[in-house]
């Protein structure tokens, strides 16, 4: 026991720079010497810039020393993976370098007597050609949203190769406080959405960032710019529209706060079932029969309009159908109600809040292509749209079109 304790104290003292437990001449107590003459580096000379496609290599020179450690990082703190030979004769990188990046390589050595050497090397890599850059634009705009708002990523170029998609996906980071399980889903070659398994937590902070800059994606494509994004969520507001009962019930954080009579889509114009994310609010919208191809003519100024789909499904005031509210479905797909109830709903919702329609004879809103129907895809199917997480089971995820046509 004494021997173990004394060794522990010796290591601690040495780590702190003390020499009380050994002689001043102990190799581990010496200041590292300049290892410049002991190693060779294949990096660029002078002001030249390195080819990011070319691996790094550090080799030991002569027979009187060896390499003990190499650490290479860029200015963003990203590490370069590498392998060190067992005899310390050579270290080489095993992951690609970033284009247009500044690197620091710290090399540790020791001589035949065990004395430590040190050399710090710096260099820059060449920029990627602009035509070969993949930029990313995140959405929505920074601000506060409801708990149903997905994060979107629009790429400047299509990415089809599976390995390239994996590089892109791993470089797009979404973090939330509190933390929640979620992943990206590729809807198109240049469009991804990120959503949690369930909704975002209420009053959450969400940060979105790209680590793509300078990263090699394939032989002709390198990561480009991606402006970070910060979002917050408010209370969980969810409206459930029961088309069969002709009522809309609104919940805040799981507690009912109001239930109002409504009318939904009549036969041939049935309101779509499923979960819809509020896209925006318009105090007044002009809605016409011509816009949706309805046979019966109408041309109305509609107030307190909360948009749910790209094709013009709204929750709005419909005083002309007051006699049907709570009794019959007579609209062309929208959820209509009294002006007072529409004004109240308009006042409490924000983009990202949830409106869920049930018991309608309409089809289900698709997960993509007509607003934000992301929540209409089951989680197991959502995972399949991720290259990185497609093979994972629930609970294993890394924490890491239509024309605008208002209807009434």
Q: Would you name the residues annotated as active-site residues? A: 316, 334
If phi > 0 it is left, if psi is from -120 to 50 it is alpha, else beta; for residue 269 that is alpha
Check if the beta carbon of residue 129 is closer than 8 Å to that of residue 113. no
The number of helix segments (H) and strand segments (E) in the chain equals 5, 27
* Residues whose CB is less than 8 angstroms from the CB of residue 65 and which lie 6 or more positions away in sequence, other chains included: 35, 38, 109, 110, 111, 112, 117
Phi, psi of 169 (to 5 degrees): -60, -40
94-387-176 Cα angle (round to 5): 95
CA 127/CA 53 separation, integer angstroms: 11
Strand 354-358 and strand 237-242: pairing? parallel
34-to-41, 121, 203 alpha-carbon distances in Å: 14, 12, 54
User: Which sign, positive or negative, has the C-alpha torsion 147, 148, 154, 159?
Assistant: positive
Using CA atoms in the order 158, 162, 167, 170, what is the torsion angle rounded to 10 degrees? Answer: 100
3-class state of residue 216 by DSSP: strand
């Amino acid at each position: 026991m004494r021997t173990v304790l004394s060794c522990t104290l010796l290591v601690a003292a040495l780590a702190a720079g003390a020499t009380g437990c050994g002689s001043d001449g102990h190799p581990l107590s010496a200041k590292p010497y300049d290892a410049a003459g002991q190693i060779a580096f294949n990096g660029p000379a002078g002001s030249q810039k390195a080819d990011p496609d070319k691996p790094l290599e550090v080799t030991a020179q002569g027979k009187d020393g060896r390499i003990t450690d190499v650490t290479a990082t860029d200015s963003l703190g990203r590490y370069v993976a590498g392998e060190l030979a067992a005899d310390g004769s050579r270290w080489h990188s095993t992951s690609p370098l970033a284009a247009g990046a500044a690197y620091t390589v710290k090399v540790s050595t020791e001589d035949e007597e065990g004395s430590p050497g040190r050399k710090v090397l710096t260099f820059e890599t060449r920029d990627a050609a602009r035509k070969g850059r993949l930029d990313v634009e995140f959405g929505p705009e920074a601000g506060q949203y409801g708990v149903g708002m997905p994060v979107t990523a629009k790429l400047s170029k299509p990415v089809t190769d599976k390995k390239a998609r994996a590089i892109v996906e791993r470089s797009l980071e979404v973090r939330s406080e509190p933390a929640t399980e979620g992943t990206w889903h590729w809807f198109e070659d240049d469009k991804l959405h990120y959503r949690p398994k369930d909704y975002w937590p209420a009053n959450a902070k969400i940060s979105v960032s790209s680590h793509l800059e300078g990263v090699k994606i394939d032989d002709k494509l390198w990561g480009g710019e991606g402006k970070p994004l910060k979002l917050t969520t408010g209370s969980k507001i969810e409206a459930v529209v029961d088309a069969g009962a002709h009522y809309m019930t609104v919940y805040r954080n799981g507690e009912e706060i109001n239930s109002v009579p409504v009318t939904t889509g009549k036969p041939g114009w049935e309101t779509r079932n499923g979960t819809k994310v509020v896209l925006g609010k318009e105090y007044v919208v002009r809605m016409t029969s011509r816009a949706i191809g309805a046979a019966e003519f109408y041309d109305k100024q509609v107030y307190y309009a909360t948009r749910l789909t790209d094709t013009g499904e709204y929750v709005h005031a419909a005083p002309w159908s007051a006699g049907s509210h709570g009794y019959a479905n007579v609209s062309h797909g929208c959820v209509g109600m009294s002006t007072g109830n529409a004004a109240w709903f308009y006042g409490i919702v924000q983009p990202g809040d949830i409106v869920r329609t049930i018991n309608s004879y309409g089809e289900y809103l698709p997960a993509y292509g007509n607003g934000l129907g992301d929540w209409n895809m089951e989680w197991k199917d959502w995972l399949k749209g991720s290259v990185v997480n497609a093979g994972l089971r629930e609970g294993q995820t890394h924490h890491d079109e239509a024309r605008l046509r208002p209807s009434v």
